Amino acid sequence: MLREMEISRAIIEAYTEELLESLSLDVAIVGAGPSGMVAGYYLAKNGAKVAIFEKKLSIGGGIWGGAMGFNRIVVQEEAKEILDEFGITYKPFKNGLYVADAIETATTIASQAVKAGVRFFNMIEVEDLALKDDRVAGVVINWTPILMTGLHVDPLTVEAKFVIDSTGHGAQISQHLVKRGLIEVPGEGPMWAEKGEELTVKHTREIFPGLYVTGMAANAISGAPRMGPIFGGMFLSGRKAAFEILEKLGRG
């Protein structure tokens, strides 16, 4: 007999089990956009315990709409090998540029990340950071609807050896350190695709003990340009952060 209560129990028990197992992590990634998911994939694939917290219902960040709703993205030669690793279909355009389907890209990276061992927690917002001994030591989480409605409900805390800010243009996680005067965030510069792609990888780094930035958050932290619907830098940024953290975790 199909009982509604058993359906509810199955969902609650399965979700709660994963959440409890994720209260202590090697890496907590905030933002399930392209750089965050790619970072999570490489971290989990190499044995790190990692979870991604995404405040929205959907994952994928800015991939889905491609450019102005044309759901295609561009990737340059340097990042093509990452498309190959994920098994994403693409077509050559010219001058070392390749075009991929935005929907296939988002869904494939997400699927491969889950299969590698990444745990996704959508509809959970990171409202603050945990700091201990001048080092980021975890994330403070709450349900997105609670924060959206302004209800005064205390959060929970997840411990993590490293946190990655993959929240995009606003660098929202790094802003928690800004308001305490610990770092400065100049914000991203205007559009310059070539420089934006180059600098998002260059500026992917540990900006405060225990806190890394990837993707557009890395450019926002450094005042570097935005790049628009070319995503190779996002992928390379996520991979770079993952490999640096794996090295520090002793799994490199």
Question: Which residues are known binding-site members?
Answer: 35, 54-55, 62, 126, 152-154, 169, 216, 226
Q: Which residues are annotated as a binding site for NAD(+)?
A: 35, 54-55, 62, 126, 152-154, 216
Q: Which of 172, 170, 241 is nearest to 204 (CA)?
A: 241
The 3-state secondary structure of the chain, one letter per residue: CCCHHHHHHHHHHHHHHHHHHCCEEEEEEECCCHHHHHHHHHHHHCCCCEEEEECCCCCCCCCCCCECCECEEEEEHHHHHHHHHHCCCEEECCCCEEEEEHHHHHHHHHHHHHHHCCEEEECEEEEEEEECCCCEEEEEEEEHHHHHCCCCCCCEEEEEEEEEECCHHHCCCCHHHHCCCCCCCCCCEEECHHHHHHHHHHCCEEEECCEEECHHHHHHHHCCEECCCECHHHHHHHHHHHHHHHHHCCCC
Q: What is the C-alpha radius of gyration for the chain, rounded to an integer number of angstroms?
A: 18
Give dist(CA 64, CA 55) in Å, integer.
Answer: 16
Q: Which residues are annotated as a binding site for Fe cation?
A: 154, 169
Q: Which residues are annotated as a binding site for glycine?
A: 226
Give dist(CA 88, CA 90) in Å, integer.
Answer: 7
